[in-house]
Chains A and B, each alone.
Chain A
Amino acid sequence: MPQHFPPSTNAFVRWAILGGGAFVVALLVALPIFARTMNNAVGVPVAQPIDFAHNLHSAQLGIDCRYCHTTVEVAASANVPASETCMTCHSQVRVGSPQLEALWTSWENDQAVRWNRVHDMPDYVYFNHSAHITNGVGCSTCHGLVDQMDGIWKTEPMTMGWCMECHRAPERFLRPRSEVFNMAYRPPSDQLVLGSELVAAYHIDTDVLIQCSVCHR
């Protein structure tokens, strides 16, 4: 009976089995790491038609978040302002500046500026801004220190696991309603005590908070 394969095949197969096993293990380690780090665009500035500087408008000029994002307290979506909102100032300030070209075009043609979305939730997530604002989740808890940014980027991964960190134990993150829009707010050292008091005071039902239908209808 002739041999179809040279004797070195045995060694090759042994190494292939080892290598295959190592490859599978490496893949199982690499994929979750990839999903947590490379795949969520945290800290990557999103290019916009106008290089809008949040730090200039918010921190230096002291404009409140709600001056532009008007619906954040009452609606599911925190709106991106219409060009009319920009023009409340820019009809007087920096008129004709080439940096604001997209705004002038929008104003003349009566068409919205095509801003690029930064936080793109899947369609099956029914996120509601007002529910979070009225229950003591600060802007900066999810969006980071936007008032310090010269562009705009995500500071949190916005994965479901990240949502669950708070939904499982909201007392770790809540602040008083009066501090929600305070970008300089720092949690007190007894956050868990304060948080538990707020959970009780705002009637937050933590059993409901982890149910599927809270976010997925």
Chain B
Amino acid sequence: MAVTTGSRVVETTRVLGPGQTPTVLDDTVNTPVLSGRTPAWWWAGFSISALLLGLYLLSVVHLITSGVGIFGNNQPVAWAMPIINFVWWIGIGHAGTLISAALLIFRQPWRTSINRFAEAMTIFAVVCAGLYPILHLGRPWVFYWLMPYPNTFGMFPQFRSPLTWDVFAITAYATVSVVFWYIGLIPDLATLRDSAKSRFQKLLYGSLALGWNGSARAWTRYMRAYLLLAALSFPLVLSVHSTIAMDFAVSQLPGWNNTIMPPYFVAGAVFAGFAMVLILAIPLRRAFHLRNVITVRHLDNAAKLLLGTGLIVVYGYGIEIFMAWYSGVEFEVYMAYNRVLGADHWWAFWLLILCNFVAIQPLWFRSVRQNPLALFVISVFVSIGMWLERFVIVVVSLTKDFLPSAWFNYTPTFWDWALYAGSFGLFGTLFFLFLRLLPAVATTEMKELAHHDAHHGSDYYERIRREYYGEEAEA
């Protein structure tokens, strides 16, 4: 899958590499999608993902036929791996909305080249996340009882419970993300339709493009719809994970009952989301020859967000321990002690500090922020750290609550891990199919950016940027 034009691939700190014209962009992004040849790395990745998806389906069948007893959940640890993994996946999903909606409204042009695959990542992560609460219901086939519909119970769900808000938060998030992603895709789908070769491609992109004709009227309405949807989904960046935080914060359990939970969960979600964006973007820009499009500038910006949100999260850890002491409540103090120094799970807390606090410190240095390999390694650390954070919050708080006679330890079973590993298969399968069938970069927006860069580029800002990065002017 070679790049067909002779454009140079250079590492640059500009939002767009040099020499990016609409034709070059089409060649870079769309040619691999329309090409009849599928590269070996795609088959390798897809096969591994499909195998893991098989494990996922096997776990789900075993779960449905045998019941939730196959998990390690017990009393008092009634929420365990399924909820940890649910929160972990939904957190990852947050970067997509932040990039697509929040950065659009804040007019950050660098979002353009990463928004498409970040939105895809969001949708697939929400799919993985949304299945967990349904699967651990016990009787997953009656999940629709969670919705208020004219049922025969004569009763609606308990609207005072954050668990009910969760249902709305996640369905709204999934719906808006899918609509936003699809609306953004339409002009690109039309581009693919117009250069489609096989009958399959003509039918697929032709029907998905919804008869897009590129007229001025279509564009006006399209841009307005896109902006309105962005405004609609912007609050979701804050609301979805706040709601999930309230699942915990509204309870009375020490370690859950904290008012800082919502903002600290939101920061954690963006933190985890950008880590996953980097984990996906860094191999992607090599495999697809996108280094002119997803430049070092993007990695640098994402790394800054990673550092900033990471520090908020670490502040949250500090406040939790401070509030435990400041509250003067015996159970809160013991919770903090057990979390940090307790015999059973001290390792989880310190690994968490290692991954989420120590590992991100190198990001203060520009050389690290602009080094793809270092960023990739740090992002993997952050992803593990965010999983451990949820483990510490969910499991460690539950194992030792109020009554020592009710304390009990938790051990995940094989099926806990199988369903978790399998969810990577679900995510990977969807993501690889996305990479093969749809353009991974929003080419229409990139063309607009390229045009803007070429014709209305601001020398003033370019000079400031060069000064910041200490670069020489390009010849």
Contacts and interface: CB of A to CB of B under 8 A. Distances in A.
Interface string A116-160: 000000000000000000000000000000000000000001011
Contact of A161 (B153, B196, B202): B153
A28 B203 CA distance: 32
A60 interface: no
A164 interface: yes
B206 A161 contact: no
Contact of B153 (A10, A13, A28, A160): A160
B155 A4 contact: no
A160 B154 contact: yes
Given A1-B194, A4-B203, A159 B153 contact: yes
B171 to A, nearest CB: 16
A127 to B, nearest CB: 15
Contacts of B202: 4
A67 interface: no
Contacts of B194: 1
Contacts of B153: 159-161, 164
A165 B154 contact: yes
A10 B207 CA distance: 11
A100 B152 CA distance: 39
A162 B193 contact: no
A9 B211 contact: yes
Contacts of A32: 149-152
B190 to A, nearest CB: 10
A157 B153 CA distance: 11
A35 interface: yes
B152 A159 contact: yes
B141 to A, nearest CB: 14
Interface in A1-23: 1, 4-5, 9-10, 13
Contacts of B151: 32, 35, 161
Given A1-B194, A10-B211, A13-B211, A160 B152 contact: yes
B149 to A, nearest CB: 7
A36 interface: yes
B136 to A, nearest CB: 17
Interface of B is mostly: loop
Contact of B152 (A1, A13, A36): A36
- Measured as residues with beta carbon below 8 angstroms from the partner, the interface class of chain B is 10 to 19
Contact of B155 (A9, A36, A160): A160
Nearest to B211: A10
B81 to A, nearest CB: 25
A39 to B, nearest CB: 8
- Measured as residues with beta carbon below 8 angstroms from the partner, the interface class of chain A is 10 to 19
Interface string B142-170: 00000001111111000000000000000
Given A4-B193, A4-B202, A4-B206, A161 B211 contact: no
A60 B283 CA distance: 85
Interface in B188-203: 193-194, 196, 202-203
Contacts of B206: 4-5
A35 B152 contact: yes
A26 to B, nearest CB: 14
Contacts of B149: 28, 32
B241 to A, nearest CB: 28
Given A4-B202, A4-B206, A161 B193 contact: no
A9 B207 CA distance: 10
A167 to B, nearest CB: 9
Contacts of A36: 152
Interface string A163-183: 111001000000000000000
Contacts of A164: 153-155
Interface in A68-84: none
Nearest to B202: A4
Interface in B169-220: 193-194, 196, 202-203, 206-207, 210-211
Nearest to A32: B150
A159 B153 CA distance: 6
Nearest to A167: B154
Nearest to A3: B206
Contact of B154 (A5, A13, A28, A161): A161
Given A1-B194, A4-B202, A5-B206, A157 B211 contact: no
B167 to A, nearest CB: 18
Contacts of B196: 4
B152 A157 contact: yes
A161 B203 contact: no
Most A-side CB within 10 Å, residue of B150, B152, B153, B207 = B152
Contacts of A168: 154
A21 to B, nearest CB: 16
Contacts of B155: 160-161, 164
B293 to A, nearest CB: 26
A4 B196 CA distance: 10
Interface in A83-126: none
Contacts of B154: 159-165, 168
Contacts of A161: 151-155
Nearest to B199: A4
A185 B29 CA distance: 80
A215 to B, nearest CB: 11
A32 B149 CA distance: 9
A46 B155 CA distance: 29
A134 to B, nearest CB: 24
B140 to A, nearest CB: 16
Closest 4 CB pairs of A and B: A161-B154, A164-B154, A159-B152, A4-B206
24 contacts: A1-B194, A4-B202, A4-B203, A4-B206, A9-B211, A10-B211, A13-B211, A28-B149, A32-B150, A32-B151, A35-B152, A36-B152, A159-B153, A159-B154, A160-B152, A160-B154, A160-B155, A161-B151, A161-B153, A161-B154, A161-B155, A162-B154, A164-B153, A164-B155
Given A160-B152, A161-B151, 6 more contacts: A4-B206, A9-B211, A36-B152, A160-B153, A160-B155, A163-B154
Interface of A: 1, 4-5, 9-10, 13, 28, 32, 35-36, 157, 159-165, 168
